[in-house]
Chains A and B, each alone.
Chain A
Amino acid sequence: MKKVFNIIICLLPLAALAQKIDRTKAPAPGKAPIIQVGSPVKFTLPNGLKVFVVKNTKLPRVIASLNFNLDGFKEADKAGLADMAGQLVKRGTSTKTKEQIDEAVEYLGGSLSTSSASAVASSLKSNFPALFGLMSEVILHPALSAEELEKVRKQTISGIESNKDDADAIAENVVKKLVYGANHPFGEIMTTKTVNAIKVEDVKSFVNNYWKPNIASLFFVGDIEPMEAKKLAEKYLGTWQKGNVPAQQFEKSAKPAKTYVAVVDRPSSVQSVVTIATPIQLVKGAPNDIASNVMNNILGGGFSGRLFANLREKHGFTYGAYSSLQSNKYVGIFKAEASVRNEKTDSSIQETLAEINKIRSEKVGEDELSRMKNYLAGGFARSLENPTTIAGFALNIDKYNLPADYYQKYLTNLALVSAAQVQEVATSLLQPSQMHIVVVGDAKQVAKGLEKYGEVKYFDIEGNEVAAPKEVKADASLTVEKLLNNTIQAMGGKEQIEKIKDAQLNGKVSVMGQSIDVVQKIIQPGSAVMLMSMGGMVVSKQAVVDGKYEVSQQGMQAPITDEIKEGLDESTYLVPELMYQQKGYKLNIVGIEKVDGKDAIDVEITSPSGKKSHRFYDKETYLLVKTAKVEKGPQGPITQQQYYKNYQKVEGVSFAKEAVMDLGQFKMNLNFEAIKVNQGIKPDDLK
């Protein structure tokens, strides 16, 4: 029978009801509510399946939840196997296709989900027996077909691809691999490669080996009588055969010998995801379990943790900063995490470490401690609103061999936690000198200065160590003159270039199925026009013909400034490097940058009017590979970048057949389909 335990919440003071309110201080709490932690009805089927029933008639719903006691499963070069097997289980049975199962479940207004170590179904009470029948069918007779595996594989790979750009997902992967180690099941990262290695036989052997009733617990929660639940369990899962489950053995995850910084370079980041983490030995129900939880909440639990107060409220570095502590029978983890703006990466690490040091070195005040206990006690009371909480309690008691009254005594034990215990668990669990500090962000902007926390190492998004992004200095012997000469040579040489009197380039930009035609005509030196048209209509024109300048957008003339004149004049040269020095441009070699993965020489160019821009020349070929300049936009400065690719010689002179224009939010590819030279173009042809 269902037993009910009554617990009085802590020893909160009783407040007399005031007739008039005093606004100047918070009202005292009322009489502590009586908290009832119901105990589920429990029985075991002959095949070893443990069944728990938590009756709760508040809503006419029932949830059935099957959980396998399966913590960690080593997958090695098949990382993702258990996850994918878990998904595959509900995708077809010996008698039903996936589509039929989905439809049948949803026709009952229910839901059914499966994962590597669980199956959960819920619906309104009236439809529950039918739904439970479907649930048992996927548990006992999953089809595990090759066809469905391919679908799951494809989706999983898409998920992996999509996560490659998600800073939080990257952080999560790299942190787990570094903290637990690549050889620990908790540290394995799914990659396209490991997912592709999974075969249908692997999935079948996983399900056959591990989905056994003797390591499983089944919960019924909601508007259901225990007898009814028992009948359902026996009817649908009574025939399930027990079996030996292979034992699992893992290496221990060790703390790093010394604190270090792991940087994952994500150049597009506007925020750094900073995680300070370490493996911990903490088991649910251990003597320090509750004190550890109190400690973690003081440090970084929600809105009233110290990390939140410091990093968000005091400094405004972030939207939120939190810590978490996970216990586990093999190895647990501590994490302090925040997404902070780039320039505050260093400061955020500093403040987080300072808070960790503080909770170790200073005893928490009685006031803060009792407030945190109230917080946890209240949270405990509120969690009882959800009937599955009781099921979760029973699961933990069973899984971790906790005393049967662990949760009944939880509030009493919580009240006993002392400041000394809090400090002791902080000291024993958190060693600031043995932390992984993981930063996912724009290394160029944020990595500087992080050496003070330990060696700075670089990792890719799969947690493999990589070389630091090189900061290459340009060759000191390379002068501007040499560079210009090399470039001019690479483009075909002065003589060849000057032999070209005129050129016409026809290209296309395609945007969303719409095609823009681009025509560029040049008469060297002095005259040039660029026309862009859509469906025969000219949408943009830029021209200089015999000293007359014109810039128009959709027929609207733009005012001509000196800067525009300069730009147009420059466009009349196929190789402006020929004229830079004569015309008074100042050039300065700034350094080396990667362009499309290759080293390029970055040259800052200052025009006679003072306009600055950058040109990047490939370090090996000296061909122009990129230009960059900052223009004023309606919402502030915009960096315009153009990339030049696929050089081909026409009459001995190199032309880039492909240009990519990148305006930050907008990017388009321009392909030149035809390049003709010396056709005798006249200035009139440019008008």
Chain B
Amino acid sequence: MKKQFLLSCLLLFIGATAFGQSIQFEKYVLSNGLKVILHEDHSAPVVAVTALYHVGSKNEDTARTGFAHFFEHLLFEGSENIKRGEFDKYVTNAGGALNANTSQDRTFYYELLPSNQVELGLWLESERMMHAKIEQIGVNTQREVVKEEKRQRMDNRPYGSFLNEMLKRAFKVHPYRWSPIGSMDHLNAAKLEEFIQFYKTYYVPNNCVLSIAGDFNKAELKEKIAAYFGTIPTGTLAINRPSIKEPALGGEVRDIIYDNVQLPGVFQAYRAPKQGGDEYYAFNVLSTILSGGASSRMNKVLVDKKQEAAAAQSVPFFNEDEGVLITLAIANVGVKIETLEQSMDSVTFQLKNELVGEREFQKVKNQITSDLVASKATMAGIAESLANNEVYFGDANLINTELEKYNKVTREDLLNVAKKYLNKDNRVVLYYLPKQKAVSK
């Protein structure tokens, strides 16, 4: 039995590594500090042009939260050479797609284009970096849009406020205590000058990684990159990189949120270390054990066996400075929220008390191997991974070596991480309960 098991593990392992494709790329730095990463791939006539700025909500002034995310909107307004409201039109007219997103650590812009339009992507991103238009009219328009975004994503959606509610309780001093959406009052209060200042501080070549993947000729592209970006001056203003150490939570934090929900929900967040270390990889494995697929423990026990949860999930929410492991479950009709929480706890705390079995351990490693391969399916995914890895870890090549990090994780590591972090005094617990129907005013 034992022998056979090891053999099948071995086969799976060989299968995975033998086919693990290596992503070739070139990385260099322009004289103004702009980092460039290029991955050439001719398998489809597409290219992803991406720009990652190392600014997120954690860089914000405590009286001006929401700025980083606001810029993600504002910087589609136009530039000296792009008329207001036309930025996205260039892309869609070329048959491309574009968007951006903001985390607590960084803001990421991308254009996905048919490959003959790669230069358009360079033009747009260089315009955005060189001389974007920061004007009152754009500020006013985008402020309304951001307010609607908040209403749609958080206020009008059941459980939509959970991340905000969670973060402000999990962090007391670190800027991670607010989420990227920030405060509408802060955005209302901000003067145009402040937006201009933010732009000049963070939207500079030395705070950016330009990562491009897809169907292009590298030598030609490098010349064009130099032409479009080379003349943009290096930023000189001081970048706020908070080095605040968040103290331990110091005891369980519990609260109730009354929301427009029908089913009660339990949301827990365990404080966790920052991303990138050995413990981080162990946490990702733990999270896969908890909710990676139907055979994961939360799904098997909470949803299927006990049928207490309509849905259950664990979300590793890791960042540059600090992280949290979120576990959440939405109760089935008629299930008491306390009962559900007890069951969640028994699943989570089992990780502290028992070594994960060998077959289950191999299963999650196989799942992770599969996921890592899948993450290389698109040029956009590759470009973003390269940029993230470069900014967070100074190692774009992690895209090729990450699997080794996971393979180093042992079952004992999982037990140790669980014992160290998955404790009641290290977590926030929120109950989401339905507002009562009677309210009519």
A binding-site residues for B, Cβ under 8 Å: 9, 12, 17, 20-21, 23-27, 29-35, 58-61, 98-99, 102-103, 105-111, 123-127, 151, 154-155, 157-159, 161-167, 223, 267-271, 302-304, 309, 312-313, 316-319, 339-341, 371-372, 374-382, 384-386, 511-513, 593-597, 628, 639, 641, 643, 660, 662, 665-667
Contact = CB atoms under 8 A, between A and B. Distances in A.
Contact of A109 (B46, B294, B366): B366
Contact of A382 (B97, B310, B362): B97
Closest 9 CB pairs of A and B: A378-B95, A126-B15, A316-B144, A60-B19, A33-B45, A109-B366, A158-B310, A109-B370, A102-B295
B263 A23 contact: no
B304 A151 contact: yes
Contacts of B412: none
Contact of A271 (B152, B258, B332): B152
B293 to A, nearest CB: 5
B294 A102 contact: yes
B156 A270 contact: yes
A666 B258 CA distance: 6
A98 B261 CA distance: 30
B15 A165 contact: no
Interface in B41-57: 43-46
Interface in B338-367: 338, 359, 362-363, 366-367
B257 interface: yes
Contact of B435 (A164, A379, A667): A667
A309 B92 CA distance: 13
B95 A382 contact: yes
Contacts of A154: 307, 332-333
B127 interface: yes
Given A111-B293, A512-B256, A376 B45 contact: no
Contacts of B45: 9, 33-35, 381, 384
Contact of B94 (A163, A378, A643): A378
B436 A151 contact: no
A9 to B, nearest CB: 7
A21 B228 contact: yes
A23 B114 contact: no
Contacts of B262: 161-165
Contact of B155 (A127, A270, A380, A386): A270
A348 to B, nearest CB: 11
Contacts of A32: 116
B411 to A, nearest CB: 16
A120 B187 CA distance: 46
A344 to B, nearest CB: 9
Contacts of B300: 99, 102
Given A106-B294, A667-B436, A158 B261 contact: no
Nearest to A167: B156
A21 B155 CA distance: 46
Given A109-B367, A271-B152, A30 B116 contact: yes
Contacts of A267: 439-440
B119 A309 contact: no
Contacts of A309: 85
Interface in B386-421: none
B292 A106 contact: yes
A575 to B, nearest CB: 23
Given A107-B366, A371-B89, A596-B438, A124 B19 contact: yes
B222 interface: no
Contacts of B92: 302-304, 371, 375
Contacts of A643: 438
Interface string B1-40: 0000000000110111011110000000000000000000
B369 A103 contact: no
Nearest to A9: B114
B81 A339 contact: no
Interface of B: 11-12, 14-16, 18-21, 43-46, 80-81, 85, 88-90, 92-98, 112-120, 122-123, 126-127, 141, 144-145, 147-149, 151-152, 155-158, 215, 220, 224, 227-228, 254, 256-258, 260-263, 292-296, 300, 303-304, 307, 310, 330-333, 338, 359, 362-363, 366-370, 373-374, 376-379, 431, 434-436, 438-441
A551 to B, nearest CB: 25
Contacts, number: 275
Contacts of A126: 11-12, 14-16, 18-19
A302 B99 CA distance: 11
A384 B260 CA distance: 42
13 contacts: A21-B224, A26-B120, A27-B119, A33-B116, A35-B45, A60-B19, A125-B15, A162-B261, A304-B88, A382-B95, A382-B113, A628-B441, A662-B439
Q: Which of B45, B89, B215, B330 neighbours the largest number of chain A CB atoms within 10 Å of its CB?
A: B45
B374 A161 contact: no
A23 B436 contact: no
A339 B152 contact: yes
Given A29-B117, A29-B119, A167-B156, 5 more contacts: A27-B120, A106-B367, A165-B262, A309-B85, A371-B93
Contacts of A102: 293-295, 300
A316 B137 CA distance: 12
Contacts of A268: 260, 435, 439
Given A162-B261, A377-B95, A379-B95, A109 B369 contact: yes
B295 A33 contact: no
A61 B373 contact: yes
A106 B296 CA distance: 9
B441 A639 contact: yes
B366 A26 contact: no
B367 A165 contact: no
A273 B148 CA distance: 12
Contact of B151 (A125, A270, A666): A270
A319 B310 contact: no
Contacts of B43: 58, 385
B265 to A, nearest CB: 9
B146 to A, nearest CB: 8
B12 A109 contact: yes
Contacts of A303: 88-89, 92, 98
B304 A98 contact: yes
**Chain A CB within 10 A, most for which of B117, B123, B220:** B117
B363 A106 contact: yes
A377 B16 CA distance: 36
A33 B215 contact: yes
Contacts of B81: 23-25
A29 B144 CA distance: 35
Given A165-B260, A378-B114, A511-B256, A29 B338 contact: no
A372 B89 CA distance: 10
A305 B405 CA distance: 45
Nearest to B13: A126
Contacts of B434: 165
